[in-house]
């Protein structure tokens, strides 16, 4: 059941340069780095981009084992994506005979499957780095500030930012609720890896139903807490802490710009 432990969305407290950066900068930097990830395909560009992400994780002060726990939950997604492209991409075959009589592995499928899996890995790593180094409240403030020009078009910026913050925050809540229900069922003598398909499906339902019931209960408690604190979607909310752009954000912006330019230059060299 350790596979249900999700650290994505959890803030990891640390005194690092990445943690101290303005949340607006981190949101913009992650967005542009994700965009660059989608257009990167050259081997040298992929290598440089990967090493830069690894260096950024080390700079953030987040333990490697803690960070890998986030990626471990999505391991099945990386494997499934790679196998899907490996077997169903047309091109030059790697083997003389198809696997299982109908699956033909191709060189193009191997390259494309590896590239798509790497892109997913890089995007999830950047997302995890953002949520581990920025509190949900800071993400909300940064999002409100970046989207504030949309208020001229009557876009509910504050409500949208609050909704996104709650969505991020409920990812680890869902994991914690699943862990709690699983341990409770195990204490009652439940065995999750035994029996046929029907028995395993019934066992899975014995976890899913209490988990969603618990999540809905927590959502209802959250709504009650917001009402008790006077929350109203029709009123504009203020913040005690103002976001200030300093020299360290400017230096970080130059670093990210050079990072992106280096990836694009390596991409054009091929």
Alpha carbon of residue 248 to chain centroid: 25
Question: What is the rounded distance in angstroms from the CA atom of residue 69 to the CA atom of residue 74?
Answer: 9
Per-residue pLDDT tens over the stretch 199-211? 767 777 777 788 8
Question: What is the rounded distance in angstroms from the CA atom of residue 102 to the CA atom of residue 109?
Answer: 15
Per residue of the chain (270 residues), give pLDDT as tens.
444 556 666 888 888 999 999 999 999 999 999 999 999 999 999 999 999 999 999 999 999 888 888 888 788 888 888 888 877 777 777 766 666 556 777 788 888 888 999 999 999 999 999 989 998 888 888 888 888 888 888 888 888 887 877 777 777 777 777 778 877 777 777 666 666 667 767 777 777 788 888 878 888 888 888 788 777 767 776 666 778 888 999 999 999 999 999 999 999 886
Global model pTM greater than 0.95:
no
pLDDT-above-90 percentage for the chain: 30
Residues in Cβ contact with 46 at an 8 Å cutoff, skipping those fewer than 6 apart? 40, 115, 118
b (16+ CB within 10 A) / e for 217-243: eeeeeeeeeeeeeeeeeeeeeeeeeee
């Amino acid at each position: 059941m350790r596979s249900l432990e999700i650290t994505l969305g959890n803030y990891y407290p640390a005194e690092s340069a990445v943690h101290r950066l303005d949340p607006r900068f981190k949101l913009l930097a992650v967005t542009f780095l994700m965009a660059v990830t989608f257009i990167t395909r050259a081997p040298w560009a992929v290598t440089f981009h990967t090493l830069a992400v690894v260096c950024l994780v080390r700079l953030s002060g987040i333990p490697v084992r803690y960070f890998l726990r986030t990626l471990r939950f999505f391991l099945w997604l990386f494997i499934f994506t790679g196998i899907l492209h490996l077997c169903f991409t047309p091109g030059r075959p790697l083997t003389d005979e198809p696997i299982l009589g109908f699956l033909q592995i191709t060189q193009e499928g191997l390259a494309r499957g590896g590239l798509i899996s790497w892109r997913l890995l890089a995007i999830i790593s950047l997302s995890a780095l953002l949520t581990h180094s920025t509190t949900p409240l800071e993400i909300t403030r940064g999002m409100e500030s970046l989207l504030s020009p949309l208020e001229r078009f009557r876009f509910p910026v504050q409500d949208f930012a609050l909704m996104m913050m709650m969505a991020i925050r409920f990812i680890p809540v869902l994991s914690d609720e699943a862990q709690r229900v699983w341990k409770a069922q195990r204490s009652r003598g439940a065995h999750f890896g035994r029996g046929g398909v029907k028995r395993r499906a019934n066992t899975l339902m014995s976890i899913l139903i209490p988990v969603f019931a618990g999540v809905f209960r927590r959502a209802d408690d959250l709504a009650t807490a917001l009402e008790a604190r006077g929350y109203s979607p029709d009123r504009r909310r203020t913040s005690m802490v103002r976001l200030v752009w300093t020299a360290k954000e400017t230096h970080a912006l130059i670093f990210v710009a050079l990072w992106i330019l280096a990836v694009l230059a390596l991409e054009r060299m091929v």
